[in-house]
Amino acid sequence: MINYHFHDHRSSDGSEPLRAHCEAAVAAGVRHICITNHAEALGAGGRWVADFREMRDRFMAVRESVAECSARYPGLEIRLGAELEYRREWTQAFDRLTAAVPFDFVIGSVHIVDGMNVSGGPERDRFFMDRTQDEAYRRYFEEVEEMIAWGGFDVVGHFDLIKRFGHPHYGGYQPERYGEGIRRTLTQMAERGIGIEINTSGVGQAPGRAYPEVSILAWAREAGVPCLTLGSDSHSPRSFAQGLREGIEVASLAGWNEVATFEQRRPSVGLSIEALVGWASSSG
Ligand SMILES: [Zn+2]
Ligand SMILES: [Zn+2]
């Protein structure tokens, strides 16, 4: 099995060192892992900052941990990644960062829309209370489209994250309602060689389902999006493998045959969905 999205204590919101996450991976039978800490950090005065030097030094330290753990756990293939939060004013620092650190894999994610965090924190309710469902979802997907136009990353993280807190405010949503914009975005991803991930954190959150919906993953395949990755987005070793079984089911339902691994920012070996379904049915 594979987990290409998790955070350790060197991520603003993660806990415990990489070694503890490796232990969890070994226990769950996950063999391919990629640590994807958030690049931005909380600065003085509680403001989020993307400072090139701070980020570079921190990820170079993570790189050392990856080397140490690779020696310690020879059965694990451990890759160095990052999750970049899209804000237009940070893209230059991120471009410098990805040029300076030898990442294997980089996720681009939208958490901020109209200056507000829609995935947590004190503002999230205000964002949804001030907007209709259509306004909220449309604005989020427009931001994803803007991030694609920048393009400094390999896959889009949690493509429909907006449903995490949109769900408690408005109930379930139909991707078809935003289908035109979503399909346009997926086509742009295909043209730029940007992949998509299945992020299984949604399985344990309000939506009760992975990000994105099965239909979006099927459209992604039709649009020619080049690759699919899979990650639990865990921030603690306890939830390391959470939802991965459901994630494989979703990939299979959407008609994908493979989940990608990455090396030096390029898709490497593809793991067959069929083999991963075997893992999912044999692990509790
Ligand atoms: Zn994220
Ligand atoms: Zn994450």
Per-domain boundaries in the chain: 2-283
pLDDT of amino acid 121: 82
How many angstroms does the Cα of residue 108 sit away from the middle of ligand 1?
8
Alpha-carbon gap, residue 196 to 142, rounded angstroms: 16
How many angstroms does the Cα of residue 34 sit away from the middle of ligand 2?
11
How many angstroms does the Cα of residue 111 sit away from the middle of ligand 1?
7
How many angstroms does the Cα of residue 134 sit away from the middle of ligand 2?
25
Q: Does the pTM of the predicted model rise above 0.85?
A: yes
Alpha-carbon gap, residue 194 to 225, rounded angstroms: 7
Instruction: Name 270's bridge partners.
Output: 260
Share of the chain above pLDDT 70, in %: 99
pLDDT of amino acid 283: 63
How many angstroms does the Cα of residue 276 sit away from the middle of ligand 2?
22
Dump pLDDT digits (tens) for 229-269.
999 999 999 999 999 999 999 999 999 999 999 999 999 98
3-state secondary structure at position 197: strand
How many angstroms does the Cα of residue 11 sit away from the middle of ligand 2?
9
pLDDT of amino acid 278: 84
Ranges of residues in the chain with a pLDDT under 70 are 283-284
Apex 211 CA angle, 252 and 184, nearest 5: 90
Q: Which ligand lies nearest to the CA atom of residue 3 in the structure?
A: 2
- Enter the tokens of residue 125: 């309710």
* Residue spans of beta strands (DSSP E) within 98-191: 105-109, 112-113, 116-117, 155-156
How many angstroms does the Cα of residue 126 sit away from the middle of ligand 2?
23
For the domain covering 2-283, report its CATH number. Answer: 3.20.20.140
How many angstroms does the Cα of residue 122 sit away from the middle of ligand 2?
19
Alpha-carbon gap, residue 150 to 148, rounded angstroms: 5
